[in-house]
Amino acid sequence: MDTDRQLEELAQVLRQSRRVVALTGAGMSAESGIPTFRDALEGHWADDDPLALAAPEGFARDPERVTRWYDQRRAQCAACQPHEGHRALAAIERGVETDGGAFMLVTQNVDALHGRAGSRGVVELHGSLARWRCIGCGEEREERGPAFGAYPPRCEVCGGIRRPGVVWFGELLPTESLAIAQEASSECALFLSIGTSAVVEPAAGLLHLARRGGALTCEINPEPTPASPLVDWAIAAPAGQALPALAAKAFAGT
Ligand code: OAD
C-alpha cells in the first residue's frame, strides 16, 4: 500500500479514536537539525560511547566532559526550531480533544521542541536538557540562558556539582511519568510510534502494551525498526512530511 493510502486509512481511524497515544524519539527532531543517537554516520553514538556520556559511571569518571556535552546540546537545541511535524502533532492533539477524545504525547526527547510547537502536557520520559539538579542537596532549576561556560556547574545553594536532569542508562525513569504513559498506552485505541528506533526500554515496551490492550498501531519512520513488522501501518516517511499530511487528512476544516 502506498504512503498516501496508508495515511488516508490512518486519518480515518484517528478521527474516530477516543484515546490516542503518540510516542516520539530522536527522529522526530531530526528535521529540526538535531542529530539522532543511532544514525550510523551522524548519530551521537556513532562517535561517542553512550556509557561515557549517558550513564552515571561516565559522569562519576568525568563530570566536566559530561556536563559540557549536555550543556552544548542544551544550547544547540535552544537554537533549533520546531518543524511542521511538531506543529502537526500539536494540531492532532487539538483535533482529538475537540472531538471529545483524549490525546497523550509521550516523548523520549529532552529538547522541549514539542512544548515549543504548542503540544500541552507532554510526558517527558527521559527528562529535559533545561533542568539541572544538584547531586548534593537535590536542588533543581530550569536553565534557559546561555551555556554555563565553566564545568561542572556548581549549585548556588550548597556548592555541589549539578547534573543534567535527564535519565541515563541504568537509571529509573520518573515513576509517575512512566506509570501515566503505561496506563494510557494500555487503554488507548490508537498508538503512534514516531521517529524512534524502538529499542530502548521501557519506552519501546509502550507499543507492546498498546497492542496487548487491543489498540491499532502505526509507525512513522523512514527506516524499518523492530516495531515495523508489528504495527498496522508502517509509514516509511519522515515525520515532517507524514504528520502534516495526517493532520490535514484527519482534521482539515475542523
Ligand atoms: P535513535 O537514534 O535510536 O532512533 C532514531 C530513529 O529516528 C531511527 O529509527 C531513525 O530511522 C528515525 N528517523 C530519522 N530521521 C527521521 C525523520 N525525519 N522522521 C522520522 N523518523 C526519523 O533515537 P531514540 O529512539 O529516540 O536515551 O533513542 C532512544 C533513546 O536512546 C534516547 O532517548 C536516548 C538514546 O540513547 C538516553 O540518552 C537515555
pLDDT in tens, 204-239: 999 999 999 999 999 999 999 999 999 999 999 999
- Ligand 1 center to 144 CA (angstroms): 24
Assess whether the C-beta atom of 225 lies below 6 angstroms from ligand 1: yes
List all residues 6 or more positions away from 231 whose beta carbon is below 8 Å from its beta carbon.
Answer: 193, 207, 217, 218, 219
d(CA 236, CA 20): 21
- Ligand 1 center to 30 CA (angstroms): 9
Q: Locate cell 566536566: which residue? A: 64
Predicted confidence (pLDDT) at residue 47 exceeds the cutoff of 90: no
Q: Can you tell me whether residue 19 is helix, strand or coil?
A: strand
Which residue, among 167, 220, 178, has the nearest Cα to 198 in the 3D structure? 220
The model's pTM is: 0.96
pLDDT digits (tens, 9 = 90+) for 2-46: 999 999 999 999 999 999 999 999 999 999 999 999 888 888 888
Assess whether the C-beta atom of 185 lies below 6 angstroms from ligand 1: no
- Ligand 1 center to 13 CA (angstroms): 26
Q: Where are the alpha helices (DSSP H) in the chain?
A: 3-16, 44-47, 50-53, 56-61, 63-79, 84-98, 113-116, 175-187, 205-212, 239-251
Pairing label, strands 162-166, 190-194: unpaired
- High-pLDDT (> 90) share of the chain, %: 91
Assess whether the C-beta atom of 193 lies below 6 angstroms from ligand 1: no
C-alpha cell at 180: 501515566
Number of helices (H) and strands (E) in the chain: give both, helices first.
10, 9
Report residue 254's pLDDT band, with 50, 70 and 90 as the boundaries: low
Predicted confidence (pLDDT) at residue 253 exceeds the cutoff of 80: no
pLDDT digits (tens, 9 = 90+) for 169-203: 999 999 999 999 999 999 999 999 999 999 999 99
Report which ligand 1 atom has the smallest distance to the Cα of 238: 19
d(CA 237, CA 239): 6
pLDDT digits (tens, 9 = 90+) for 88-98: 999 999 999 99
Assess whether the C-beta atom of 70 lies below 6 angstroms from ligand 1: no
Q: What local confidence, expressed as pLDDT, does residue 44 receive?
A: 86
Q: What average pLDDT does this structure show over 84-110? A: 97
